[in-house]
Structure 1
Amino acid sequence: MCWYGAEDRALTDRRRDIAVEVKIGVQHAPREIVLESGQSADEVERVVGEALAGKSQLLSLVDEHGRKVLVPADRLAYVEIGESAPRKVGFGTL
């Protein structure tokens, strides 16, 4: 039995269990963009800061399913970054 990569899988599985909710307001758009990202809150904040500072023309984030969300930096109205929270699994009382 080969255990090669077991630590990598464990790290990836742990990372999937933690999601950061990101809400992006876009100028002249009636609805905000909401996504859950596997990136850390600090990482999302860094990417948003770089886009607003003019280092890139696009805000590029990756959601938990690996899809990229691209927003022109000059059209950003606001970005709300939620706290990292473990994903709830199963049924329970509210």
Structure 2
Amino acid sequence: MEVKIGVQHAPREIVLESGQSAEEVERAVADALAGKAQLLSLTDEHGRKVLVPSDRLAYVEIGQPATRRVGFTTI
């Protein structure tokens, strides 16, 4: 699923494809905003970790799970 993270004082947002469920991402964001964690830590589909300081989060947009299309279709 696609996750977009806005960071304060940064001109661009962070976009990653995460293998985590929407509930897992939401729980991690809630913990970071509640002060339970100093960093928002998410893992992308390739196993790379993205760490954002929780006090710098501007917004987090959680997309719908993407289904992979295989084959050819007519438009």
Instruction: Give the SS at the match of 1:31.
Output: coil
Shift of residue 86, structure 1, vs aligned partner: 1.2
TM-score by length of 1: 0.74
Q: 1:49 to 1:93 in 2, by over 3 A?
A: farther
- Please, what is the CA RMSD of the aligned residues? 1.3
Higher helix residue share: 1
Report what 1:75 is aligned to.
56
Per the TM alignment, residue 49 of structure 1 is displaced from its structure 2 partner at its CA by 0.4
Correspondence for 1:50 among 28, 31, 42: 31
SS of 2:29's equivalent in the other structure is helix
Q: CA deviation at 1:84?
A: 1.2
Q: Any unmatched runs of 5+ in structure 2? A: none
- Structure number with bigger Rg: 1
> Could you tell me how far 1:91 is from its partner in structure 2?
4.6
Unaligned runs of 5+ in 1: 1-19
User: Which of the pair has the greater relative contact order for Cα pairs under 8 Å at 6+ separation?
Assistant: 2
Taking every aligned residue pair, what percent have the same amino acid on both sides? Answer: 81
**Which runs of at least 4 in structure 1 moved beyond 3 Å after TM superposition?**
89-94
**Is 2:24 the partner of 1:36?**
no
Give the C-alpha shift of residue 85 in structure 1.
2.3
Does residue 73 of structure 2 align to residue 88 of structure 1? no
Q: How many residues align?
A: 75
Cα distance between partner residues in 1 of 2:74 and 2:43: 31
